[in-house]
A and B are shown apart, each in its own frame.
Chain A
Amino acid sequence: DTAVSQTPKYLVTQMGNDKSIKCEQNLGHDTMYWYKQDSKKFLKIMFSYNNKELIINETVPNRFSPKSPDKAHLNLHINSLELGDSAVYFCASSQANKDEQFFGPGTRLTVL
């Protein structure tokens, strides 16, 4: 299947822990994104990478660190998790100079 995939789908963890979410796309796209969707469904961009280079870095706590080992992968590492980090995190990708962004299935993070 050609798609954007994320692992894990669900993540339940304690405050203070460190966790990672992985994203992979096999669409051959150059640009990948991380979005956060909170409990009120607000969808907000966090980061974007183009060919492994960080191009968008919104006002996100530095506990969040994206890493792009190659242009098909964009991972999100979160240190010292807080209750407010609970949300659904979506990865997305797009082709350079094309408009449509393709979203992954999302990772529901619950911090207890």
Chain B
Amino acid sequence: GENVEQHPSTLSVQEGDSAVIKCTYSDSASNYFPWYKQELGKRPQLIIDIRSNVGEKKDQRIAVTLNKTAKHFSLHITETQPEDSAVYFCAASWNTGFQKLVFGTGTRLLVSP
């Protein structure tokens, strides 16, 4: 089955710096790669996703890149703000009408003012 590894487990940056979180997946059949943000005590919420036919996707300060050959994908957050502090999860799945998301182990991002 699919296995997703995520690094780093914690990441501390200064406000305004960039943050990068990396994930690798094992199943080459996976074709959908979402990123979820979970604030303390809250539910995970989708912030950006990418499908396997796209190499990069950007939405304002966040971007995701995918390297299918190497089976890894990354989340990039630019101009970080204190409200970006949260746990970020990557996930992988293949969508055949329904999904089985396999999540990474999470990255706790702390943005200091």
- Residues of chain A touching chain B, judged by Cβ–Cβ distance below 8 Å, are 31, 40-45, 48, 50, 55-56, 90, 94, 96-97, 99-101, 103-106
Specify the chain A residue showing the minimal Cβ separation from B91: A43
Stretch binding the partner chain, chosen from B16-24, B41-49, B66-74: B41-49
Stretch binding the partner chain, chosen from B56-64, B77-85, B93-101: B93-101
Q: A41-B106, A42-B105, A43-B106 are in contact. Are A101 and B99 (CB under 8 A)?
A: yes
- Residues of chain B touching chain A, judged by Cβ–Cβ distance below 8 Å, are 32, 34, 38, 42-46, 49, 51, 87, 89, 95, 97-103, 105-106
What separation, in Å, do the CA atoms of A44 and B44 have in the docked complex?
12
Q: How far is the CB of A28 from chain B (nearest CB, A)?
A: 15
Chain A residues near B44: list those with CB within 8 A.
43, 90, 103
Specify the chain B residue showing the minimal Cβ separation from A43: B103
Q: How far is the CB of A5 from chain B (nearest CB, A)?
A: 11
The listed residue with most A CB atoms (<10 A of its CB), out of B44, B100, B106, is: B44
